[in-house]
A = this chain, B = another copy of it.
Amino acid sequence: MLKQYLPFLTWLPQYNRATLSADLVAAAIVTILMIPQSLAYAFLAGLPAEMGLYASILPLVAYCLFGTSRTLSVGPAAIIALMSAAGASTIATPGSPEFITASIALAFLSGLILCLMGLLRLGFMANFLSHPVISGFVTASAIIIAIGQLGALLGIQVSGTNLPAMIHGLILELPNLHLPTLAVGSAALAILLWCRRWLARTLIRLGLSGKTAALLAKTGPILAVIITSLAVWWLELSEAGVKVVGEFDGSLPGLVLPAVDLELWKALLVPALLISLVGFVESVSMAQTLAAKRRQRIDPDQELIGLGAANLGAAISCGFSVTGSFSRSVVNFDAGAETPAAGAFAAVGVALAILFLAPLMALLPQTTLAATIIVAILSLVDIAGIKRYWSYSKKDFFALMGTLAITLLVSIEVGILSGIGLSLALYLYQTSRPHTAVVGQIPGTEHFRNINRHQVETDPHILLFRIDEGLFFANSRFLEDRLYTLVFQNPNLTDMVLICSAINYIDGSALESLEAINQRLKDSGVRLHLSEVKGPVMDRLQRTSFPEHLSGEIFLTTYGAWRTLRERSANANREERST
């Protein structure tokens, strides 16, 4: 029980020198990757650079204690940073102290929400976000981020929360582009792209093993950072107007509990909820991918608590919203991290960097960070997904493109909410029209088949109707419409048999619909019968007055219903004729 809520009790007792050295190596590599990323994502979130570093210390320790993935690297991440910026800017101007307060409050709220969801085992809420919606949302966010960073690369300011506004801003500001900034940015971009494509091969040629080379190639950004920083310092480009990160306080963040401000929290509730959901979905699917490779297991509900603790950690140490990072987790895994302690060690690495490297980081050109983000983010544009959904399922394609378009054209918040609404609506639309069939007897057998596809025996007085789905609120109205239409189309009808072989559940709404159907069919002179009701469904029905109000009978088999009703109908006809 205790181990469930404090997963580190599982791995800490077995901790030894071998795991320690593995974790330390992984932590060192992750730290090198983490420093430029943290600074870049802080800028993306509209916050001072040091807040990115702060968000890379305590959250990692918190996740190490409460998370269940052994290799997930928690910290600032691109899409969450963008969502944080969008959420905070609804109530304050970027750059203002209120904006910082709002960003911290977002992390705090989202930490509370995640922990609460974890304790209440509400991990299933993430199901609201279907894959096409996530894909559309991530693609649109990546495009928005890339265009925003394109501005930084050109040395101009691009504002706006949606694509048309940003492109408009970009075009207006284009004449003000700053050539030295563009030169540095282009150099950084060139280095990054070179690292991505050629560094691994070069390292292999230098004699490294394929795996080590691939791993080292992933730390390419630090090369771009070092080279462009040196260039800017050497050529004194910051005096020529190339913006750098600038000096910041080289000390660790103090711990402060955010003030309780209900007014602020209420205003930030929806953005915080969306950040929590998106962060959780991204993080948990990453963690599952990595855990499967080593036959380990993660507990999604405990992951909520781990991620919640990480965000609370960020909030009390002046950081901002964090989640599991895709790129760093892969590096952490490939570098051989064995336990979550690797994360804690990376936190120590970042803390040491703040204490000793702050003067060096101050020289880092912002345009290099922009280049880093652009290269990282464009891999998230999911063209393959769009193609696949187009060929596999038009409904999913529609959900994806709807989310994509609304996110780009309106705003990321409206985009994701519309996406959730759209996929739910499409799902309800589908389940609200389940497959149904009027069936008839295959002559001489006890089998019944669709009257439209097979030569079967039917009777104008008796209708056998099958529905291939559980009955619940979303399809109960459809069932009503369908049955009334059938009664209307068959004026000689006296008996309707509802074949329940595929009905796994009947919820309260559907039960009321069945009662209404029974009553209305009775009013129009048609008896309603049921056949092949499953055991658990029947048990529930027995608890209600439905079976006694039922105008017809409940038959064990459809064949039994057919035989009994046909005999009765034949007798009735005979009597009619004889009178």
Contacts and interface: CB of A to CB of B under 8 A. Distances in A.
Interface stretch (A22-30, A365-373, A516-524): A516-524
A433 B123 CA distance: 12
Interface of chain A: mostly helix, strand, loop or mixed: helix
A535 to B, nearest CB: 12
Q: How many copies of this chain does one complex carry?
A: 2
Contact of A392 (B425, B524, B543): B543
A532 to B, nearest CB: 15
Nearest to A523: B293
A125 interface: yes
A538 to B, nearest CB: 13
A540 interface: yes
B504 A468 contact: yes
Nearest to A124: B432
Interface in A488-530: 488, 491, 504-505, 507-509, 511-513, 516, 519-521, 523-525
A129 B509 CA distance: 10
Contacts of A130: 472-474, 507-509
Given A428-B128, A507-B395, A544 B433 contact: no
A344 to B, nearest CB: 25
A515 to B, nearest CB: 10
A127 B431 CA distance: 10
Interface stretch (A5-13, A106-114, A284-292, A350-358): A284-292
A295 interface: yes
A478 B284 CA distance: 12
A436 to B, nearest CB: 12
Contact of A520 (B289, B516, B520): B289
A480 B285 CA distance: 10
Classify chain A: how many residues form its interface, as a range. Answer: 35 or more
Contacts of A472: 130, 427
Contacts of A75: none
A435 interface: yes
Contact of A488 (B295, B430, B469): B295
Given A297-B485, A424-B424, A512-B131, A544 B477 contact: no
Contact of A389 (B295, B428, B480, B508): B508
Contact of A504 (B297, B435, B476): B435
Contacts of A504: 435, 468-469
Contacts of A447: none
A540 B392 contact: yes
Contacts of A475: 127
A271 interface: no
Interface string A442-482: 00000000000000000000000000110011111110110
Interface in A178-193: none
A151 interface: no
18 contacts: A124-B474, A125-B425, A126-B477, A127-B475, A128-B428, A130-B473, A130-B509, A131-B473, A292-B487, A293-B520, A297-B484, A391-B543, A392-B540, A392-B543, A395-B508, A396-B509, A435-B504, A468-B504
Interface of A: 124-132, 285, 288-289, 291-297, 300, 388-389, 391-393, 395-397, 423-425, 427-430, 432-433, 435, 468-469, 472-478, 480-481, 484-485, 487-488, 491, 504-505, 507-509, 511-513, 516, 519-521, 523-525, 540, 543-544
Q: Which 6 A-B pairs have the closest CB atoms?
A: A292-B520, A396-B508, A130-B473, A131-B509, A295-B524, A293-B523
